[in-house]
Structure formats: structure tokens, C-alpha cells
Chain A
Amino acid sequence: MVRIDYKVCNRCGGAKEKRCERICPGDLIGVNPEDDRPVVLYPQDCWACTACVKDCPVSAISLRLPFQILGKETSLKASVKGRKTYCVVEGEGGKKEEFEIEVIQNGTLRRKD
């Protein structure tokens, strides 16, 4: 399941199609036309693939597991910059572990909308 932090989300700068909406392989995210906010319309259908988590340009989205699976709150945030993917996993009590991996070689991907 993913959670959008609306204090961080910048509505993709007002773009008509939001990045999170565009990327989710299950088409689970939509936009509320009244306030231009992204909304997870079908939270129970999430595959936990982290595509939206990684594609949000301001890292406003985090992943957590349903309580029936883990029984506690842990979360994962990520961002993609050039050749690297960065990730922060937060355990109970705020204990954090960070990762930085280089996932592209020879050249970078241009971002395409």
C-alpha cells in the first residue's frame, strides 16, 4: 500500500497527467479534479511494486505493508536520479537504513513524459 504525503507532493507542478498516475502498472492512482490532488483510488489493489514511489519527482510517496502482513509500521521511500536509485527504509521507532545503487551503465536515461 502506498501513502502520499500531501505536504510534500507538489501536484507535479500542475501537470495534467501526474507522474504517479502515469506510471502505476495497475492504474490505481487518479487525480481529484477539484483540488488537483493525486488519490490512490484502489489502495487494496497495490502490488507493492514501488513504481510510483520511485517515479515521484519529490519523493512524496512511501510504501508500507498492510497490517495483516506485518502488524507494524515500516516504510520505504525512494528516488531516482540519473544513474542511481536512492532508497530509505524506516523501521519501527524511526530507525533508518539508506541505500544508493547505480542501476544504469553507459549513459543515463532521459526522463520522458
Chain B
Amino acid sequence: MEIVRKDTDLLIIGGGAAGCYAAVEAKTQSPSLRCLIVEKAHIDRSGCLAMGLNAINAYINPGESPESYLNYVKQDFMGVVREDLVLSIARGLNDTVKKVEEWGLPIEKRPDGSYKPRGRRGVRVLGERLKPILAEAVRKHRVEVLNRVAVTNLIKQEDRIVGAFGLGIRDGNLYVIRAKALIVCTGGASGLHKPPNPGSGRHLMWYCPWNVGTGYAIGLRAGAEMTSFENRFIALRVKDVQAPTGTLALGAGAKQINARGEPYLEKYHKDSPVRESSTYFRLLSAVLENQAGRGPCYLDLSHIDAQTLRQFKVDLLNMSPAMLLMLAGREIGDYRFEIAGSEPYVVGGHGEAGYWVDVERRTTLKGLYAAGDVAGGAPKKYVSGCWVEGQIATRSALQEITPGSLPSIDEDLIKKEQSRTEMPLKRRDGLSPQEAEEWLQKIMDEYAGGLSTRYELNEEKLLMGRTLLKDLKSNVPYLKAENYHELVACMEVVDRIDVARTVVEHLLYRKETRWPCSQSRLDYPQRDDAHWLKFVNSVMDVDTAEIKILEKGLHGQD
């Protein structure tokens, strides 16, 4: 393992939606600035956007306003959101979408030239190549990109983040990168819980399987404050292929029905204590129908006509190619698809788990900013909200970058990270990353509300989960890798363990049920606004790795 040193002004960790937008913004504001993206895959098709998109889910359509957007998000998330963050996103949505349209994204138009809405807060796009379009904008703006380097830790000196370590996936080298400011944009975390399918189907998941929560883990290990890890995101999707069930399918005239052929949503909408929250109740109602013996639930497309079906397929081609394989060769009339909830994810773009940031997207660590799915407190930001956060984070980070030299990095820190990251290659016998991942997923599935327990939680099980995770963590030194690909997989599982431990501590702490399925406490089944209209935050001790919980008020106060 060789050491490769690099210096830059602004380091962006992760070249996905937020990272690419942030980098272009930096070079637009300050063309002479050195800006480097470090990306574990290849920016042309990395992260959540690898398949493409057919809608931008957050947009202020005519008749809506940033305030109405905030109201919606706040209601949907049962009152616990950071209003300052959500509003700052809402105010920037339309400009960033316009920018990406200029870069080449086709957006469907109405005859008068305005964007074609999709639902109240979305617009329809032909986004199959959205990721290559963002990558091209990055290249055109002369941003430096290091592909196939996975960041493994932040470099912290004297209370400031001064750079990051990365592992070269192709060359096995340790990259030591110094920077004047950093933005973490690594997305959320999948693979904490057991996925719905084993073996050859294990990665047919909704969230990107290689966004493993590294951004959270490196922050936790450096002492950053995190928020709302108990707010897990569970996607209600076409079973196994994860195609969307929302406005897209409903736009194609699909109904959600149970095994008896009855539409069931209305029933829960009327009776459910959570009726003010549509996203949660849609998932909850499918879970409850199954529990009552009326499962499975279906997306019923049997009345679709040929033209609508064709449009539906084009929409799928733009974002959910696997679903086209389900539809292949089927006759019209035979169109009923089982729907189910996914395993839980930790993701700040659909849900609200992530770094605790201020409105400038500063984390609690000096020199470090966060944007996109990795940043917390502002759910339902989706792809366009990630762009806005990338823009805000860059603008604030630029203020901090002044001429002058970079600090020298303590060689002991480098040696420590080198020995940590190369250890699995040196072991001849031990725990394979796959085995460790399965162990983690089993614990989380059984004791921290996975699919097999219908997401349900209680104190005793969570305490068992805590103990088992501790045991798993103590086995990290036995991880073994045969090659660089496996070495990165070892680092990924280490990161997932730290994220999972944080999730369990958060779930234990919130003694109510605020977000059904996402956080259903059987021992505290009611929502308790008198005590819990607040944030649960956490900080990991940098020496002992113990997780400490903090409470924060709705407006961020202690």
C-alpha cells in the first residue's frame, strides 16, 4: 500500500447529485479555485442516480410556494422537521432545476412552455441520462475528479477537519488529501437491515447498495453531531423490483387493492390516527392489510389501455429498468403487481436522518459541510433539494477558503489509518466482509425492526440488538480481504456497524411512536406530542466509541 498525497482547496466527498452540483457551483463562483471530487465509483453512473429518474419530486409549481412546501413536509413528518432547512431548500428548488435543464436534462413541457407537473410538487423529466449530464457539467467546469477512491476517514487536527483519507479501489493505495474546506455528499445508508431477497437477489433493493453510510460513519468517528437516526425510511414499492407505486403508477390509472380486490387506502385515510401523513399511512395501510389476513396488496393496472401502458413503460425505462423485465411479454389485462415495503434505510433525502447542520450546511465539525441525503433535519428534499443543499454548502464553504497554506498532517495519523485499512489484506484467516454483513443484517432484522418483524420495535429487543452489535464490532479486527474489492467491502461493513449502532441508540431513546413503521415502538404505541416534539441527536465519543444522546428543540435549541 503506497501513500499518495494530494492537496486541494475544496474537497467534495462523493460525486452524486449533491456533490456534482456543489462542484460546479464552486467553479462557477470561483474559477481559479482548486476543487476535487473523490468518488468511490465513477461519476458517470454512481450513487442513487445510476438508473436515472423520471420525475423531480421537489419543485414549486404554479400555485405553490416555499411556505406551502414547508407546511406539507412538516405535516407529513408529524411536526418534527427543521423549518429553517426545509425553507432554504424550497426557496432554491426552481433555480437549480433550471440549471440542470440548461446542462441538458429534458423536462416535459405544456403547450405554454411551462413544466408539466407531476403531482403537486413534482415535474416530469426524461432523466435516463441525468447522471452522465451532471458528470459532463463537472468536466466542463474543470473540476478535478478522482474516481474509484473510497473515502475511509476524515483527518481531524486541533478540532478542525483538514482533509480525508481514501482507499484506491484499483491500486490499493492510501490517498491522503488535504483541503481548506470539505463537503460530505456520500448519500445515505443501505444494507443495514436484511434485504427482502437472499443470494442472487440480495441487491435488488431500492436504495443504492453502495451508499453504505460512510459519510455518517466518518463524521461519527470524528465526533460530529447527528440527528434523527430513528427516522428510518421504508419505501413502498413493487415487490422485488422496487418500481415506484406513487404518482407515477397512479398517473397510469393504477389502484392499490388488497387480496380481495378491495381498494383499501381510503379506509385508513378515514380511520387512521395518522391520516395527516400520507407517506407513512400508505405504507402502514399495506402492512396492516397483510396483518389482517387481506394480503398481499397489489398495484392494479388491469384497466390500462395500450397507449398509457406504453407511456408507463417509457417512464420505467427512465428510472426502473428491472420493472420492464417484469412486464416483458405480458398481455394487457394481466397487470397486477404485488407491492410491499422495503427493508429500512437511513437517508436524509427521503427521510430526515443525517448530520446536524446549520442553515449554511455547516456540520458541528469545523471545516466540514454536509449536503444531500447525508444531511439531516430536512426530509423530502429529493434530488432537487440535494442540488440546493450542494449549492448552499459550497457558497458557505467558499467564504471560509482564504489564500494561505495547508497544515501539515501528523504522520502518526497517516500510519494509523494505513494500518487500519490494510489489516484485512494481511489476515490469512478470518471473517469475510460478506459474513460480517450477513451477521449485521440478521441482528438488525430481528432486534431492530426489520422486514421479518414488520418493522416493530420494543425496548428488550433493542437492548439485545445493542449487545449483539457490540459483539459484532469487537470482531472487526478479524475482517479478512482477498483483494481490493473485498478490502473496500470490509471498510463498508465497518461503517455500517457504526451507523447501525447509532440507529439502535436513537430507536431506544424515542419513547413514543412518531412515524409508523419507520419507528413503531410496541411498548410506546402512541404519538406523544407533549414530550417528544423534538429532535433526538447523538455524538459518538472519539476515544471510546460510546454513543451519547442529546435532545434538541424543534428550532435547534438545546
Residues of A within 8 A of B (CB): 1, 22-27, 41-51, 53, 55, 63-70, 74-76, 78, 80, 85, 87, 89-93, 95, 97, 99, 101-107, 109-110, 112
Contacts and interface: CB of A to CB of B under 8 A. Distances in A.
Contact of B317 (A49, A66, A87): A87
A63 B133 contact: no
B104 interface: yes
Given A26-B210, A103-B126, A43 B325 contact: no
A77 B208 CA distance: 21
Nearest to A41: B485
B104 A104 contact: yes
Contacts of B127: 103
A45 B41 contact: no
Nearest to A69: B240
A80 B203 CA distance: 25
Contacts of B47: 25
Contacts of B197: 66, 68-69
Nearest to B101: A105
A66 B485 contact: no
A78 B127 CA distance: 15
Given A23-B44, A104-B129, A68 B201 contact: yes
A41 B202 CA distance: 15
Interface of B: 41-42, 44-47, 50-52, 101-102, 104-106, 126-129, 132-133, 136, 139, 148, 169, 197-205, 208-210, 240-241, 313-314, 317-318, 321-322, 324-330, 485, 488
A51 B313 CA distance: 18
B106 A104 contact: yes
B208 A103 contact: no
B325 A64 contact: yes
A95 B329 CA distance: 6
Contacts of A41: 485
14 contacts: A25-B42, A45-B202, A48-B321, A51-B45, A63-B325, A65-B326, A66-B199, A66-B201, A69-B240, A74-B329, A89-B328, A99-B313, A103-B126, A103-B127
A74 B325 contact: yes
Contact of B208 (A25, A64, A109): A25
B199 A75 contact: no
Given A25-B50, A103-B129, 9 more contacts: A25-B208, A65-B325, A69-B241, A76-B321, A89-B327, A97-B328, A99-B314, A101-B314, A105-B105
A90 B318 contact: no
A102 B106 contact: yes
B209 A47 contact: yes
A69 B197 CA distance: 8
B210 A25 contact: yes
Contact of B104 (A27, A48, A90, A106): A106
Contacts of B41: 24-27
B209 A45 contact: yes
